Structure 1
């Protein structure tokens, strides 16, 4: 025997003496029941055994058993035959798993017992027969823990546990006084198995044993293969391995590599010939070391026939082999962090069966793309949730993997199958490609970007963007059919990380975004199935795990400015995404007050608030509207509103905006609707109004306005009940695509109709715009009720397919601009400014979950909210028309349209932005006394047409001329332009104006 180093002798001399109450010396050394629970590190519960004696103990045929703290019914995990525990050796039984935790327990044996994370009892029994009773007799060892535990050894049970603590026997398992309270103490879970360092009890210089590692093996019949088993000895070298008994024909020992030093593993290769018949074979090996010690191990060799992947998949949504353990083979096509995709390179020629399958390994796979492998595992139909759609369309996969054998490496991948999404009849047609490599032949358009930051997912579709069905169709069979068609032509591009908040965020352009409407072609990858949102209960979709990085294009540029809507008055609505001056962390902008009773919903802190405010101000200043209705702003009087007004005035000039006065009631919700306006453009007409009828979640808010020219209109701001958190009955989700609370929204729409006369009476006008977040798409019941009763959908007048929101990968309009017939006649344009709904949520103001270098926030208007703002143009000019004689026409202080007509007229705009209209040369001879270049406009459209002038730039071509005289500038018309012989004829005199000031901006041609 080799002489032991001094340090080993000293350690042995001071080792804890064994106090043995177990007759065999084998004890329960550790129990843990918090596996997979909230806050747990380990995913599974476990029971640890330990040989505290001086001799090996055969524990095969024994069991570990569990009962609740006061329970009388016991459940057992049997220890298989052939297991021998050497002195100082641990044996770990991994039990049931929870849904949490980050680390798998590496056990010697796996059971299914679900231990309590707080109180319970575990027994070690020399048989597999279940115990009975709260304090049973006949256990080799027993631990009861927690204050209510019964049957404890000694006077009291061991301490109560938590999800982060285990009960550990003292002296690393060496103490056994038959007193649970004294023998055990809580500590961090520290699972130890047969490969852990030996811990000899009792002092003295005890030689360490040989520890074999001979796991069961599985191979495929008809395929030659080999595998390696090993053994170690911490204080000696393992130098030989030999067969115990006889090997079956076709199995031979291959090369042996002895240990190069103490504690280094010796390995024995075992070869299996391709002639070995299918079946189960028990093999045994004896190991020797250079100290004349021996150890033996037995293990099972399973030889099974190959079941092809197409045979496993079958032609339906579910495999006919669910729950069956099989061996199959193929080429690895894609790796993800908890498994890999495997495809039969030959297939079965049946287009209805998939040639690919996912192999779930739970941890990072050890194979490589291009490896040809054989896998032995259980066929499982995995449903991501308990929803009906998930249960009806589970993912067929291989789990509980017992063996993966690499047959060869560097193999070419199977050719991708070409798939046209546009040609699929239904979403379920993708089932036949589950797990396979495919090439999507269609150009694809991005529909949804909300989850690119949280899960690395983009929803794309063939045939252009998908629109929300009830935005273009009334709820009913046609809308449901459209939804089914949308799903059939859509897939999710998944970054394959299966990681929340992947870093770096995939698919973003250099400008820090990817937008709905961007396009991609030539997508190739593996087909998967699962949630298309960040919720396991959300919509399900087929996914593509790309095998090459997709390259995106942007046919529709980011809109830096809102679309032109014309008119001389602009009205807008803007959802400001829970703009609160009081933060969720309890602090606030100075004077911001406390959170309302309904709670704070916006920025978490000052840093987030500053980021949010910057984006909102960029959006509002970009809109540059004369009236803006605001939704989702803190219900704190006008404090939060004034905060935005102050910011806008700092950017755009003092007193550019003002807050509309508070109405009589703003309700009790945490958020309210509000209004701001430009006092230099509009005056208030009557008092502000609110409707706090109980049917309204947030009181509707109205205000009348008057332009300097006397033109009046009113604005009503709305925020109807949301579609989330269903009610009962008709306020539940009835399946017609209108979502939850449709009945209440319809009642709120009816209340708006009933309240409208109050608005018109107070504002003194029947020109009323109703705008805001109606939480209803354009063809749903609430909007239909309004439009069926004389209210006009102003946006649909210009673009029925306009949208303001993206949900479940479909675009639709929740934010509306509606109006009475009187105001509809004055509308020059209405549309949404697409700065929010198409942008990823990941680039908004929030800072949580964004790692350093992966924060794509920019101080601009993009993703200031989740809703797009809406803009409406109104022509509220005052009209003046002269007679055929000499007229003296003076306009208002506002915006006017002045048409002198025939005769030499004297025209005075008198303030505002005025248009002077000329239809023919018969209108010549006028003098305009106060024309303002760059503000006022000469409208010559019909005059030029009447004279046959079709120049793209009449001023540059000389068809419209300017000649100076003693009192100003003469504007003339030259029928053949500067190049022709006809001379220009005077049309009108601009008094006090130099020709240098008269540019193209002074005209409308």
Structure 2
């Protein structure tokens, strides 16, 4: 990913087995935007009027074609057949056509209208396969079934005798007929149902047809505020506009989303309408300069930045109103720029967005009431921040987050604390740069740093964080005092238990990562007695094979801990079933226990494996585990493609007559993947992944209840990466006055976080303890990663120290009093 609007390009992957007769047809999901509208291969052949073959595309919504291609395969491919590629550029305007000229024959008399792209492929006049591909790399699939599995194929048409097709093939074409999608451009993924043969009707993006056929409607004169309108969608979408005046305020000169912003220096009086607009030029750097006064003509489109697998219909992201296929006239140079609006602490509303329970695109903007409406009403306009504090560190794609509201939920270390679903910290603003890095490297900043002076530029939108200020002027980076934290060493009588997500740790990682994580455990965490690790991968990491053991990964990590001066930890874990626990494909991530055998002992009870559930049993009035280590309900559907909790029975101290049993449940609930963004067009956002986490929390809570029912005085710790907030339904399902308590609730509100995402300091990692232990605990979230650009992991670890109970109330009270007096 780069600074421009990011698009994912996937390699086409498929087999090369020769298709046999009656092979299954392709069954890809129907396209809801760009599709193939018409294919003609008889150009220049005997009897043909047209001189040139062509492929025509269409879409009901604007779609960028940069990096895409049209590809052709013969009707009956051999094992050595190759797809022929024609690269595309630019975009399809909503409701418009996009004409791709192919090989020209020796016959015919009628030329195509000016094509939007040109290739040299000689299409068959009667049958073949044409694919619209979200990549410019040649496909390798040669069967309908294999092509159906290739995610970069957006649409595919097999006609005539084509064996690679969707459903049944479209009719055969001829020298005088093409195959064209039926009048309503609906994709049913059945070529025979979607296409008919008829007279070729090529049309380009300007609406021009062969022989000077009538183009589309004449462009309308408009100003930017009229194009932007009073909602999120332009009232001019799909139309051509001309003579749109403005001053060029910024130019994007790199990446695949080049273009320029221009702004009307004569705004209207409506606060809902933006006066700025982006002109998209694809991979071509526009020949304009900042300060040029221009008149622009082009097609009005709404561009939706899409994640892999998304379509315009399915994405929750908002769109960007822009001009495509643009032409412009520079009227004068060196003009003063419209003044940038300064974002002061009270400029942006505190409320995020209206919450109708659905799509907000059609609602009239209320910029004085909602933050997302405020930003939308400034889309493309120049904004400015002065002396902005960093609340999200510089990421790997040269972006950071600042705040325009320095006092909004401020953490003691300079971040913005995310405290509830209704308080999104609307002062957060993402910053990227339009300045070439050769001229000025992007600042490498941590939370609490500052961009002093002026940071200003036009407001853009990205699926990576929403509204983003594309800085043409960057403030000076001034580093703050932030340093990694170190917790205190546990006292002799205290049991220290920690959780640490080590971010896909495997033997494929450099030794430097092992060493740094190990140093964090030894120095920053003060070598806890028990450490629950999340995201331990198998012994060959992301290599996707049958290996599931993590012995080598854990050995290397514990060796690094010992080398850093820490204890010689032992470990316990359970190998998962291959590819059953989610995470990086092939990695087989799991949770694991490390423990210091000089301080605690592990109670091994055989029989625990990937599918055997752990149960609570009673022995002499106390609880014990049926297997140790064991997994909580590992075959329950709630754990599908997700890590199963690991339960272990420990004794503290390691030996002697005063040993006390401690039960630890290590977790890594399913991720937030698939949840809709805070900044999206669906409000409130749908948190679809939450359903599975709540189901997982209920299973863990069920185990907790069975333990407490067996022994109400049991020493219990439930910890790990729960992938949710302390106020979330999942975490609240676990917490109960008679079962589990959250020591984090006793921390100052601003200190309750272990992760920083899009400038929000939030809590995904948790340590919960049995309710009767709460007054005996001391929790410390040790901030060593999440707030820093340079991270060993994207999570901060945390540790809880407590005095395990004996189970005799008066003795426990006496101990607590005594150790409190002794410190």
TM-score above 0.5: yes
- Counterpart residue number, 2:456: 525
CA distance in 1, matches of 2:299, 2:793: 47
1:358 to 270, 278, 281: 278
- Counterpart residue number, 2:151: none
- Counterpart residue number, 2:224: 309
* Deviations, residues 80-111 of structure 1 (Å, cap 9, x unaligned): xxxxxxxxxxx99998684416998899xx98
2:233 to 318, 335, 351: 318
Q: Give the 3-state SS of the residue equivalent to 1:612 in structure 2.
A: helix
CA distance in 2, matches of 1:741, 1:439: 42
User: Is the Cα contact below 8 Å between 1:471 and 1:779 reproduced in 2?
Assistant: no
Q: Give the 3-state SS of the residue equivalent to 2:510 in structure 1.
A: helix
- Counterpart residue number, 1:717: 665
User: Given the alignment of the two structures, is residue 396 of structure 1 paired with residue 396 of structure 2, yes or no?
Assistant: no
Q: Give the 3-state SS of the residue equivalent to 1:361 in structure 2.
A: strand
* Deviations, residues 104-153 of structure 1 (Å, cap 9, x unaligned): 8899xx9833579xxx99785313799xxxxxxxxxxx99847xx3469x
User: Is the Cα contact below 8 Å between 1:69 and 1:121 reproduced in 2?
Assistant: no
User: Given the alignment of the two structures, is residue 701 of structure 1 paired with residue 647 of structure 2, yes or no?
Assistant: yes
* Deviations, residues 929-978 of structure 1 (Å, cap 9, x unaligned): xxxxxxxxxx6xxxxxxxxxxxxxxxxxxxxxxxxxxxxxxxxxxxxxxx
RMSD: 5.0
Q: 1:681 to 1:308 in 2, by over 3 A?
A: same
1:837 to 775, 786, 789: 786
2:799 to 871, 888, 892: 871
Q: 1:667 to 1:830 in 2, by over 3 A?
A: farther
- Counterpart residue number, 2:570: 659
CA distance in 2, matches of 1:418, 1:316: 23
- Counterpart residue number, 1:575: 501
* Deviations, residues 276-295 of structure 1 (Å, cap 9, x unaligned): xxxxxxxxxxxxxxxxxxxx
2:384 to 417, 439, 447: 439
Q: How big is the shift at 1:615?
A: 2.1
User: Is the Cα contact below 8 Å between 1:471 and 1:778 reproduced in 2?
Assistant: no
Q: 1:560 to 1:864 in 2, by over 3 A?
A: same
1:498-647 matches, within 5 Å, as: 507-509=442-444, 514-520=445-451, 523-533=454-464, 541-553=466-478, 557-562=482-487, 568-581=494-507, 603=508, 608-622=509-523, 623=525, 624-635=527-538, 636=549, 638-647=551-560
Q: How big is the shift at 1:722?
A: 0.8
Q: Give the 3-state SS of the residue equivalent to 1:825 in structure 2.
A: helix
- Counterpart residue number, 1:959: none
User: Given the alignment of the two structures, is residue 776 of structure 1 paired with residue 731 of structure 2, yes or no?
Assistant: no
- Counterpart residue number, 2:615: none
Q: How big is the shift at 1:71?
A: 12
User: Is the Cα contact below 8 Å between 1:793 and 1:817 reproduced in 2?
Assistant: yes
Aligned length: 574
CA distance in 2, matches of 1:505, 1:759: 64
CA distance in 2, matches of 1:71, 1:125: 7
CA distance in 2, matches of 1:662, 1:395: 48
User: Is the Cα contact below 8 Å between 1:826 and 1:874 reproduced in 2?
Assistant: yes
CA distance in 2, matches of 1:682, 1:631: 20
Q: Give the 3-state SS of the residue equivalent to 1:113 in structure 2.
A: strand
Q: Give the 3-state SS of the residue equivalent to 1:367 in structure 2.
A: coil
CA distance in 2, matches of 1:806, 1:715: 30
Q: Give the 3-state SS of the residue equivalent to 2:520 in structure 1.
A: helix
Q: 1:505 to 1:411 in 2, by over 3 A?
A: closer
Q: 1:359 to 1:711 in 2, by over 3 A?
A: same
- Counterpart residue number, 1:673: 591
CA distance in 1, matches of 2:510, 2:771: 41
Q: 1:325 to 1:390 in 2, by over 3 A?
A: farther
- Counterpart residue number, 2:155: none
Bigger Rg, which one: 1
2:427 to 482, 489, 497: 489
Q: 1:416 to 1:897 in 2, by over 3 A?
A: closer
Q: 1:66 to 1:314 in 2, by over 3 A?
A: closer
CA distance in 2, matches of 1:129, 1:569: 80
Q: 1:776 to 1:94 in 2, by over 3 A?
A: closer
Q: How big is the shift at 1:469?
A: 12
1:453-472 matches, within 5 Å, as: 453-454=396-397, 456-458=399-401, 460=403, 462=405, 463-464=407-408, 472=419
Q: 1:725 to 1:572 in 2, by over 3 A?
A: closer
* Deviations, residues 414-448 of structure 1 (Å, cap 9, x unaligned): 2222334444521112222222222246x644444
CA distance in 2, matches of 1:104, 1:72: 22
1:416 to 318, 334, 340: 340
* Deviations, residues 761-812 of structure 1 (Å, cap 9, x unaligned): 9xxx722222112223212233222222421112222345511223454332
Q: How big is the shift at 1:703?
A: 2.5
Q: 1:813 to 1:610 in 2, by over 3 A?
A: same
CA distance in 1, matches of 2:98, 2:594: 64
- Counterpart residue number, 1:735: 686
Q: 1:610 to 1:543 in 2, by over 3 A?
A: same
Q: Give the 3-state SS of the residue equivalent to 2:329 in structure 1.
A: strand
Q: How big is the shift at 1:552?
A: 4.2
Q: Give the 3-state SS of the residue equivalent to 1:643 in structure 2.
A: helix
CA distance in 1, matches of 2:601, 2:381: 66
User: Is the Cα contact below 8 Å between 2:457 and 2:473 reproduced in 1?
Assistant: no
1:375 to 296, 317, 320: 296
Q: 1:666 to 1:519 in 2, by over 3 A?
A: same
2:629 to 689, 692, 701: 689
Q: 1:305 to 1:380 in 2, by over 3 A?
A: closer
Q: How big is the shift at 1:706?
A: 1.7
User: Is the Cα contact below 8 Å between 1:580 and 1:633 reproduced in 2?
Assistant: yes
CA distance in 2, matches of 1:459, 1:737: 28
User: Given the alignment of the two structures, is residue 745 of structure 1 paired with residue 696 of structure 2, yes or no?
Assistant: yes
- Counterpart residue number, 1:975: none
Q: So what's the TM-score if we normalise by structure 1?
A: 0.49
CA distance in 2, matches of 1:347, 1:358: 16
1:46-61 matches, within 5 Å, as: none
User: Given the alignment of the two structures, is residue 335 of structure 1 paired with residue 251 of structure 2, yes or no?
Assistant: yes
Q: How big is the shift at 1:410?
A: 2.1
Q: Which runs of 5+ in 1 are unaligned?
A: 1-35, 41-64, 80-90, 131-141, 167-299, 474-478, 534-538, 582-602, 728-732, 844-862, 879-895, 900-913, 918-938, 940-1003
Q: 1:677 to 1:519 in 2, by over 3 A?
A: same
User: Is the Cα contact below 8 Å between 1:444 and 1:460 reproduced in 2?
Assistant: yes
User: Given the alignment of the two structures, is residue 826 of structure 1 paired with residue 771 of structure 2, yes or no?
Assistant: no
- Counterpart residue number, 1:889: none
Q: So what's the TM-score if we normalise by structure 2?
A: 0.59
Q: Give the 3-state SS of the residue equivalent to 2:279 in structure 1.
A: strand
Q: 1:382 to 1:577 in 2, by over 3 A?
A: closer
- Counterpart residue number, 1:347: 267
CA distance in 2, matches of 1:113, 1:77: 17
CA distance in 2, matches of 1:720, 1:738: 14
Q: 1:494 to 1:874 in 2, by over 3 A?
A: same
